[in-house]
Amino acid sequence: MSFKPLHMPLHVVVLAAGEGTRMKSNRPKVLHTLGGRPMLLHLLDTAAALAPAAVHVVVGNGAGQVQAACAGHAVRWVLQAERRGTGHALMQAMPEVPDEAAVLVLLGDHPLAPVALLQDLIAQHDTPLALLTMTLDDPTGYGRVLRDQDDEIAAVIEERDASPEQRAIREVNTGIILADAARLRRWLDDLGCDNAKSEYYLTDIVGLAHAERAAVRGLRARNAGDLQGANDRRQLAALEARYRARRAGELMDAGVQLIDPARVDLRGRIEAGADVCIDIDVVLEGEVRLGEGVTIGPGSILKNCDLAAGTRVLAHCVLEGVSTTGPCDIGPFARLRPGTVLAEGCRIGNFVEAKNARLGPGSKASHLTYLGDADIGSRVNIGAGTITCNYDGANKHRTTIEDEVFVGSNTALVAPLTVHRGATIGAGSTVSKDAPADTLTIGRARQTAVKGWKRPTKKES
């Protein structure tokens, strides 16, 4: 559905030039992360959902970093070379906005603004100027909304310029406005900077509109928490908690069991089937797909994983770039790295590491093993202490283990190497040549007992 007020094209302007000095960071404020992604990316996703004619992003501090982080988004970049307030920032974007447009202004450090609420603001727009407001128990730091005797919005005054009586007002400005471009351009031209910071405040356009008897609509948000920003680390942490609760609620609504929603971190795009169960202290990052009935044990970290229905990840596993094509068991204490693919019935046990390895149906490595750059067939047993020696100091080489191979414990497989179908490798072997099918291969030194040998002793001082 398209939400274009009064049949006017919608132009979204995101103000993202703030330095974020209270973050005490060298990183631009809008690049601080929420749910594992920069705040600005969350807002750009929201803007795209409104189907605008264009999205303009005003940048200043660290403009190059911000642009690089948003590669792939359809954005018109605007530079605010000199920071002289929010009104001045919007002035920089207006030359690219036609007079017949409606302009929606969003703040780059307010990443949780709900799409539905913005759609309500746009759909109800029947005045030259509309703004979102909210009511706070503690309005400290926000511009106060001033109303006239008819309860119409007359002005917004910043806290630093407000009187004690005005500071007691609990209805505050969120910073999100919607305005007709032609009138907005005129009001911006009339802005002054006679205030405590000698800046051009965007909020002053409210008083200008009221002075010329232009109606100003105020839409009061029911849930103020979604419209609060992040000016420092404490506020960012509060937003993170709110974001986590929102995402956890979405998963539970989809049929996922979260043992404790407050102790699951969701830092990416999560797709989960019915009856998935996620235990405490789990972190999900990037693109994660969990099929029906998947269980994730406590303390596990999954990044960019696609786990088939019925897969069980036991406690304290770290998985990145892992796929399962059928139900299998992983962990506890397993580390599976990018390119690992497990087929139905696989078993990866404790203290097993795999990288760029494919295991066929029913194969298992139960403990204390490294499998790197390996193609492993069906019903293969990998004994404890086995490693694929895949790196010669300059290049990586692959190990191929065919179906129904049994590899004894403490074996080193020196790649490039093929262990053919049905082969058995004796425990403690170092195998550097292909092992024939259906044959026992042993590659170890003959055991010798040295008679008369004595263990060294410490010399007396």
Any idea which residues carry the catalytic annotation?
367
Cis, bond preceding 114 (omega within 30 deg of 0): no
- The two three-digit tokens of residue 179, written as one number: 């305005």
Other Cβ atoms closer than 10 A to 148? 10
Report how far apart the first and last C-alpha atoms of the chain are (Å, whole number): 89
Cis, bond preceding 332 (omega within 30 deg of 0): yes
Q: Are 205 and 187 in contact (CB under 8 A)?
A: yes
Question: In terms of C-beta density within 10 A (0-12 exposed, 13-18 middle, 19 or more buried), how is residue 351 classed?
Answer: middle
Rg of the chain over Cα atoms, rounded to whole angstroms, equals 31
Other Cβ atoms closer than 10 A to 6? 10
Q: Are 105 and 87 in contact (CB under 8 A)?
A: no
- The two three-digit tokens of residue 431, written as one number: 């195998």
Other Cβ atoms closer than 10 A to 223? 11
Amino acid 378 reads S
CA distances from 431 to 302, 307, 362, 448 (A): 34, 33, 24, 21
